[in-house]
A and B are shown apart, each in its own frame.
Chain A
Amino acid sequence: MAPMGPEGMPWEQYLVDEMADTTEFASEGPHTVCFSNAGVNNPWRVVGYTNMTEEVALHEEIGEFIHVDAEGSDDKQIADIADLLAGGNCDILIVSPNTTAALTPAVEDACEQLPVIVFDRGVETDCPVTFIHPVGGYGFGIQGAQFIADNVDEGANVLMLRILPGVDVLETRYSAGRRILDEAGLNVVGAEFTDGDNANTKSIVEDYLQRGTIDAVWMDAGATAVAAVEAFEDGGYDIPVFVGEDQQDFLQKWNDLDMTAIAPTYPTYQWRTPIIAAVRILAGEPVPGPEWVLPQPAITQETLNNFIDASMPPLHYAMCGCEEMPNYPQAWGGVQ
């Protein structure tokens, strides 16, 4: 399915052709854009939030950008949203919810007062003007598992590594991946939780290597992918087919070791989109809605070189759509 929108700018593209009318929100600038953020508590959100602030800097119409960080707490985020509404300064509210069910009532309250944009994780109401998100967990899981199925023989041993149970986007990645692997007749030797910890990941892979061969590794997130690769490297084993993610360290490892690999992404460029949407909504221009589904490309051998940048930090998410922005790479922690 070809995305609609400007070529080469996936953060402005959309997959579902349905527009939300926003003429009622048109107003004179400069605007105050408020953002209630679930947290900046992992490298993915650090990169994403940097994308967002840099996007804000591109728009003169935005007079003030108010960011409140919920630090990963539902309670704090509910209070944050109430405070922003009570303050009365916001022209539009962007919400990246910490959890879906808990934040739904707060978002509903906000909808009654001003236009709301939700992105990343969703809420159980369609009152926001638009809900911005990439294709999602199933797509992520399928891309990686299909790559494995295409590159190993039937009956091959696959190790699945997961961060932790009970997070919806990760569960969907796993269930989709698992289904593809099972249907392809592959032997899933284990599905282990790593807690997203490098040392844990490396230990688990070492343990599996002592018990038998591994022909492919599927991961639901790539932050610990390099540790998993190192377990093979340090033990003197051939590196199997690998599913990582778009973190710089994994991409570089992939290139250095000439691995057979793929990097599905949950693109951090989705943090640019809410700002673009906010500006359009306040200008009364239509935006994709009630859902703005962004494309979610995977990095493959063919495109790998476009994303490798040794000057960026190890956990920089390469699918950031930020390379052309004015303060790249310093703002993202890279060296010029």
Chain B
Amino acid sequence: MNFLKRAAPLAILAAGQVYVIVSGGFDLSVGSLITLVVVGSSMLSNNDPNATWWVISVMFGIGLCVGLINGLVVCYLKVPSLIATLGMMITLNGFVFLWSGGAPRGYLPDTFRFFGRVNIMDVPLIRMLPVALIMLVVVGFILYWLMHRTNLGRMIHAIGDNPHAAQLAGVPVNRVRITAFIISSLSAVVTGILLGGFAGVSTDVGTGYELQAITAAVLGGAMLLGGRGSVPATIAGALTLTAIFTLLNFLGLPQPVRQVVQGLILIAAVALAMYRRKRTGQ
């Protein structure tokens, strides 16, 4: 249960990221958006437990704006998503620094931390049920349903596969692409709420998450150039990634060795996934 609780933030983030990847792009801004959510929430809520709900709403509002801007820049200014979201990442990092002055200025109230921190105890069979796991199941299902059971999901696949063909077939390419960026940003907001809840405020909480999310999606078989990817497989990829990190921690290897092993495992895992895809001819 602890493991699933720990993996939940990355799994949700990766499940959002896979929307952008399938549509043929990258979203590198999610890590800094997570940091913004955690630091911003602590600044806004000002230790007031009653502020939680409006603060969370504001954060979703910010997420919506970030996703919208990412999408608009990619679609209308024709900036490649790698650069557009890299710019957004740097901008948001700077903004967090400006806002917080380099050190967090407040705590997150317990009502905010509920989602990422609390375990519901004495549940039959499994002893404890982390709220974060419930969040993962709910958000994971919504993202699965949107991607694999609705028209939106089919259109995202279509524009990632061949945007020109999709346009000719009547897919509103820009609108779909923007929606994918918005979904990714909103999932980053959820991730930020869970991470802030799990471990409290720090000014570098989101660092590195964007690449982990992309790695998880690729481990789950998503194609980096778009057109292919699955939400459940991405979540499985995130669980695998977290399992690898936890295992390496358990083995007690020194940090530099751990990083070498981590890197090699990632390359090997993705190479294996590619090899199997080739053999199955898909």
Measured CB to CB, the residues of A under 8 A from B are: 40-43, 45-47, 164-165, 190, 192-193, 196-199, 201-204, 206-207, 210, 223-224, 226-227, 230, 234, 236, 249, 313-316, 333
Measured CB to CB, the residues of B under 8 A from A are: 2, 6, 101-107, 117, 119, 121, 195, 198-205, 246, 249-250, 252, 254-256
Q: Report the separation of the CA atoms of residues A207 and B256 in the bound assembly, to the nearest whole angstrom.
A: 20
Can you pick out 6 interface pairs between chain A and chain B where the beta carbons lie within 8 Å of each other? A41-B102, A42-B103, A207-B249, A249-B107, A313-B106, A314-B107
Q: Which of B2, B101, B121, B255 contacts A46 (CB 8 A)?
A: B101
- Across-interface contacts of B121 in A (CB, < 8 A): 236
- Across-interface contacts of A249 in B (CB, < 8 A): 107, 200
Contact (A197, B195) CB under 8 Å given A43-B103, A46-B101, A207-B246: no
Q: Which of B101, B201, B205, B256 contacts A314 (CB 8 A)?
A: B201
- Across-interface contacts of A207 in B (CB, < 8 A): 246, 249-250
Extra contacts, 20 of them, besides A165-B254, A227-B199 (Cβ < 8 A), are: A41-B102, A42-B103, A45-B102, A192-B249, A192-B252, A197-B202, A198-B199, A198-B200, A199-B195, A199-B199, A206-B2, A206-B6, A207-B246, A227-B200, A230-B199, A249-B107, A314-B104, A314-B107, A315-B104, A333-B103
Residue ID in chain A nearest B107 by CB atoms:
A314
Contact (A234, B200) CB under 8 Å given A207-B250, A210-B2, A333-B101: no
- Across-interface contacts of B255 in A (CB, < 8 A): 164-165, 193
Question: Which of B121, B201, B202, B249 counts the most chain A CB atoms within 10 A?
Answer: B202
- Across-interface contacts of B249 in A (CB, < 8 A): 192, 203-204, 207
Nearest-neighbour CB distance to chain B for A39, whole angstroms, equals 10
- Across-interface contacts of B201 in A (CB, < 8 A): 198, 314
Contact (A223, B101) CB under 8 Å given A165-B254, A192-B249, A207-B249: no
Report yes or no: A234 in contact with B119, Cβ–Cβ below 8 A: yes
- Across-interface contacts of B252 in A (CB, < 8 A): 190, 192
Q: Which of A40, A201, A226, A230 contacts B102 (CB 8 A)?
A: A40
Nearest-neighbour CB distance to chain B for A184, whole angstroms, equals 22
Contact (A43, B198) CB under 8 Å given A193-B255, A198-B205, A234-B117: no
Q: Report the separation of the CA atoms of residues A43 and B101 in the bound assembly, to the nearest whole angstrom.
A: 9
Q: Report the separation of the CA atoms of residues A45 and B199 in the bound assembly, to the nearest whole angstrom.
A: 22
Residue ID in chain B nearest A162 by CB atoms:
B255
Nearest-neighbour CB distance to chain B for A244, whole angstroms, equals 14
Q: Which of A164, A197, A199, A315 contacts B103 (CB 8 A)?
A: A315
Q: Report the separation of the CA atoms of residues A164 and B254 in the bound assembly, to the nearest whole angstrom.
A: 10
Q: Report the separation of the CA atoms of residues A190 and B6 in the bound assembly, to the nearest whole angstrom.
A: 21
Report yes or no: B102 in contact with A46, Cβ–Cβ below 8 A: yes
- Across-interface contacts of A210 in B (CB, < 8 A): 2
Contact (A202, B199) CB under 8 Å given A193-B255, A207-B246: yes
Q: Report the separation of the CA atoms of residues A315 and B101 in the bound assembly, to the nearest whole angstrom.
A: 12
- Across-interface contacts of B101 in A (CB, < 8 A): 46, 333
Residue ID in chain A nearest B47 by CB atoms:
A310
- Across-interface contacts of B246 in A (CB, < 8 A): 203, 207
Q: Report the separation of the CA atoms of residues A203 and B117 in the bound assembly, to the nearest whole angstrom.
A: 12
Task: Please provide the 7 A-B residue pairs with the shortest distance between their CB atoms, ordered closest to farther.
Answer: A198-B199, A43-B103, A199-B199, A46-B103, A46-B102, A193-B255, A313-B105
Report yes or no: A198 in contact with B202, Cβ–Cβ below 8 A: yes
Q: Report the separation of the CA atoms of residues A196 and B200 in the bound assembly, to the nearest whole angstrom.
A: 13
Report yes or no: B104 in contact with A203, Cβ–Cβ below 8 A: no
Contact (A42, B105) CB under 8 Å given A198-B199, A199-B195, A202-B198: no
